[in-house]
Amino acid sequence: MTELPTSWRSVLPHLTTPLPEDRSPDRAAGGGIGVNLPMELVRQSIQPREYWQIPDEVLDAYRKFRPTPLWRATGFEEAVGAKVPVYVKYEGGNISGSHKLNTALAQAYYYKRAGVAELVTGTGAGQWGTALAAACALFGLRCTVFMVGSSLARKPYRGVLMRMLGAEVLASPTGTTRVSRETEGQGNSLSLAIGEAVEYAAGKEGAAFCIGSGETYSILHQSVIGVEAIAQLAELEADVDAVVGCVGAGSNFGGIALPFHAEAAAGGTRPPRLVAAESSSTPKLTRGVYAYDQTDATGTGPLEAMYTIGSSYSIPDSHSAGLRYHGAAKLVSAMRHAGQVDAVAVDQVEALEAGRRFTVRETVLPAPESGHALAAAARLAADGAERGVLVCVSGHGYLDLAAYQQLLDGELSDQAPAEEALLAAVSGLPRVEGARV
């Protein structure tokens, strides 16, 4: 039986080139808003050290829900006409209903040690907000969550759960922060919710902003998923040549996929194909540009090198709320640029249909975000993979039944961005040196 890993595994020692350095923004509204990180998180983001010991307090919390299950999804294979085995790693069996708790617990631990009294964040579909609320409750911190308003209206029980855990939940845009008053046309934007959280935390004594997905340290914490999966596949004597995860900013995909790259690099072998499944409404990896862009709507933080469709782009509403972020993590983006990561775009009808088939044949209800990964895995298993496919189901869909109801009623539609809108949103962004235009 697979044991709980005692170390996170970093891919940084195995990159072909160092990550591009961040740049200062052209403007610093409100005097410039800084985000103060505990030094351990800074070290985890920049040091090329492969293994990082998981603190005992975090391990104790992990033991309540980890290791998470991995199984061969034979029913799903039959439903999608798979020609090779499909293995599923399931991360929905904790209070947040998703993989987000892996880094929330770690971050709450490090911020608590750094003397912070309150953590503030932005969330899309609510899994990250719920995870942080739970972690703050466990480590004795206050928690404030800015949740994308359209998602909170669609999933009010996410807000109820966060409040049960002691968090204050605010629908974004709130109209109470400068960034929400000045930013128009981004009412469904995770970038705006994050911007409000950044501004709020900067103005409150003892508070700190924290983020759950795009940062290199959060991807490191999520590596527990892939480390477990490598051991579980070995126990099954199973071999895969494709690893799939859905990608918003990148922590779920990075968590399942990047340990496989590190394992292959350390052993001098060829890694499996690492496939990031994104929403066709937010296609940064498949239709975006590799450029320096801001991570939130304040425009005051450092510009990061990322594949982006532009932080100013008004993302259309959809049920793939956790994927509706304009850019991909700088680590995932750098590996995409180096040809070490592949990407596919999936529309929400195909994603939810894959989720429906998975529910019927595997009796597990996946979140809409996870449906994108399942749809991509189904494509690969039917045509593309030669030995097997591993896919991460990053969360459950019990609070997303309204989306499935629309699927069953034939009421879903998709809004892929028009090419001219994407070009306009990225027109002023400085490209990363050597990036293809």
| Cβ neighbourhood burial of 39 (10 Å; 0-12, 13-18, 19+) | exposed
Of 23-37, 150-164, 325-339, 391-405, where does mean pLDDT reach its minimum? 23-37
Q: Which residues of 370-387 are buried (b: 16+ CB within 10 A; e: fewer)?
A: bbbbbbbbbbbbbeebee
pLDDT at 250: 95
Decide the pairing of beta strands 142-148 and 118-123.
parallel
* Residue 122 bridge partners (DSSP): 146
Q: Which residues fall within 8 angstroms of residue 26, CB to CB, at 6 or more apart? A: none
How far apart are alpha carbons 107 and 100 in whole angstroms?
Answer: 11
- The DSSP call for residue 392 is E
- How many other C-beta atoms lie within 10 A of the C-beta of residue 239? 15
pLDDT at 310: 93
With contact defined as beta carbons under 8 Å apart, do 25 and 294 qualify?
A: yes
Whether the per-residue pLDDT at 209 is higher than 70: the answer is yes
Decide the pairing of beta strands 242-246 and 86-90.
unpaired
Look-up of token digits 């027109």 = 427
- Please report, in angstroms and rounded to a whole number, the separation of the first and last CA atoms in the chain: 48
Instruction: Give percent of the chain with pLDDT exceeding 70.
Output: 94
Of 114-128, 174-188, 321-335, 347-361, where does mean pLDDT reach its minimum? 174-188
Look-up of token digits 């498949």 = 286
Whether the per-residue pLDDT at 259 is higher than 80: the answer is yes
How far apart are alpha carbons 213 and 247 in whole angstroms?
Answer: 9
How far apart are alpha carbons 397 and 154 in whole angstroms?
Answer: 13
Reported confidence tier of residue 1, pLDDT bands at 50, 70, 90: confident
pLDDT at 302: 86
* Residue 139 bridge partners (DSSP): none
Q: Which one is predicted more confidently, 136 or 193?
A: 136
pLDDT at 33: 46
∠ CA 26-286-272, nearest 5°, is 115
Whether the per-residue pLDDT at 125 is higher than 70: the answer is yes
How far apart are alpha carbons 365 and 400 in whole angstroms?
Answer: 9
| Interval 59-73 mean pLDDT | 98
Of 253-262, 354-363, 398-407, where does mean pLDDT reach its minimum? 398-407
pLDDT at 61: 98
With contact defined as beta carbons under 8 Å apart, do 213 and 251 qualify?
A: yes
pLDDT at 312: 84
Look-up of token digits 């937010």 = 282
Tens of pLDDT, residue by residue over 272-299, are: 999 999 999 999 999 999 999 998 766 7
pLDDT at 26: 65
Tens of pLDDT, residue by residue over 96-105, are: 999 999 999 9
Side chain identity, residue 193: A
Of 391, 382, 383, 389, the closest CA to residue 355 belongs to: 391
Whether the per-residue pLDDT at 89 is higher than 90: the answer is yes
With contact defined as beta carbons under 8 Å apart, do 302 and 23 qualify?
A: yes
Half-sphere exposure for 104 (CA within 13 Å, toward CB): 31
Reported confidence tier of residue 321, pLDDT bands at 50, 70, 90: low
Reported confidence tier of residue 74, pLDDT bands at 50, 70, 90: very high
Of 150, 126, 138, the closest CA to residue 322 belongs to: 126
Written as one string, the DSSP assignment of 139-194 is: HT-EEEEEEEHHHHHH-HHHHHHHHHTT-EEEEES-SSSHHHHH--S-TT-HHHHH
Here the tokens at position 214 are 């795009």
What's the count of helices (H) and strands (E) in the chain, helices before strands?
Answer: 17, 14
pLDDT at 315: 78
pLDDT at 84: 98
Instruction: Give percent of the chain with pLDDT exceeding 90.
Output: 79
pLDDT at 185: 54
Average pLDDT, the chain: 92
Whether the per-residue pLDDT at 30 is higher than 70: the answer is no
Domains of the chain plus CATH, in order, are 59-95+216-423 (3.40.50.1100)
Reported confidence tier of residue 187, pLDDT bands at 50, 70, 90: low
Q: Phi first, then psi: give them for residue 127, nearest 5 degrees.
A: -65, -45
Of 69, 70, 56, the closest CA to residue 7 belongs to: 56
| Interval 312-335 mean pLDDT | 84
| Interval 83-91 mean pLDDT | 98
Of 2-16, 138-152, 278-292, 296-310, where does mean pLDDT reach its minimum? 296-310
| Cβ neighbourhood burial of 19 (10 Å; 0-12, 13-18, 19+) | middle
